[in-house]
């Protein structure tokens, strides 16, 4: 039920391959991918997992990756459709105001996500 691949150097290609494999897994509840050099492309594949997967995944941790605003926007789109995810950790992921705004808009439509962690990103006051 738990798969932790933190600090394994997966990168975007590894994230893409993993997203395809996890989409078929019906028992995985928590996926830890902290500090894996995953950028916005890998984040888009993982966000696709949230839209296309079987709905089993409840916790996704991507702390200390480089997903940026584009990756955050991909997760925002996924959160508008996904009903199973309860926790999304995007700490120190290079997310700025645009990514924050996309995630905030998605949260207006998602009543299931209990935790969205964005500590360590850089936001302007008032964003």
Looking at the DSSP bridge assignments, the partners of residue 19 are none
- Residue-wise pLDDT for 59-76, tens only, equals 999 999 999 999 999 999
Instruction: Find the domain containing 6 and state its range.
Output: 2-117
Please tell me the predicted confidence (pLDDT) of residue 55: 75
User: In this structure, are strands 59-61 and 87-89 parallel, antiparallel, or unpaired?
Assistant: parallel
The answer to whether position 92 is within a domain reads yes
Tell the residue number behind the tokens 């997760």, with chain if given: 75
Taking only the tens place, the pLDDT of each residue in 85-124 is 999 999 999 999 999 999 999 999 999 999 999 999 999 8
The gap from C-alpha 6 to its chain's centroid, in whole angstroms, comes to 14
Average pLDDT over residues 43-48: 98
- Cα–Cα distance between 44 and 58 in angstroms, integer? 18
Q: Is the pLDDT of residue 14 over 80?
A: yes
Q: What is the CATH number of the domain that holds 110?
A: 3.80.10.10
pTM, entire model: 0.94
Tell me whether residue 126 is in a domain.
no
Whether the pLDDT of residue 18 is over 90: the answer is yes
Find how far residue 9's CA is from the centre of its chain. Answer: 17
The reply to whether 81 falls in a domain is: yes
Q: Is the pLDDT of residue 53 over 90?
A: no
Residue 124 lies in a domain: no
125 assigned to some structural domain:
no
Classify residue 116 as exposed, middle or buried by CB count within 10 Å of its CB (0-12, 13-18, 19+): middle
Residue 7 lies in a domain: yes
Domain count, the chain: 1
Q: Could you give the CA distance from residue 77 to residue 26 in angstroms, rounded to a whole number?
A: 22
CA pair distance 122, 78, nearest whole angstrom: 22
In 3D space, the residue among 17, 27, 89, 79 whose CA is nearest the CA of residue 56 turns out to be: 27
Edge to edge, what strands does the sheet with 87-89 contain? 2-4, 30-32, 59-61, 87-89, 115-117
Residue 65, domain member (yes or no):
yes
């Amino acid at each position: 039920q738990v798969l932790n691949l933190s600090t394994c150097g997966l990168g975007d290609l590894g994230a893409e391959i993993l997203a395809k494999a996890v989409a078929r897994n019906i028992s995985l509840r928590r996926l830890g991918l902290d500090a894996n050099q995953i950028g916005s492309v890998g984040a888009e594949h993982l966000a696709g997992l949230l839209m296309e997967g079987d709905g089993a995944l409840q916790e996704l941790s991507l702390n200390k990756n480089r997903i940026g605003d584009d990756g955050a926007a991909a997760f925002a789109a996924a959160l508008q459709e996904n009903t199973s995810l309860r926790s999304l950790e995007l700490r120190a992921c290079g997310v700025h105001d645009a990514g924050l705004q996309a995630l905030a808009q998605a949260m207006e439509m998602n009543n299931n996500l209990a935790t969205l962690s964005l500590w360590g990103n850089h936001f302007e006051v008032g964003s």
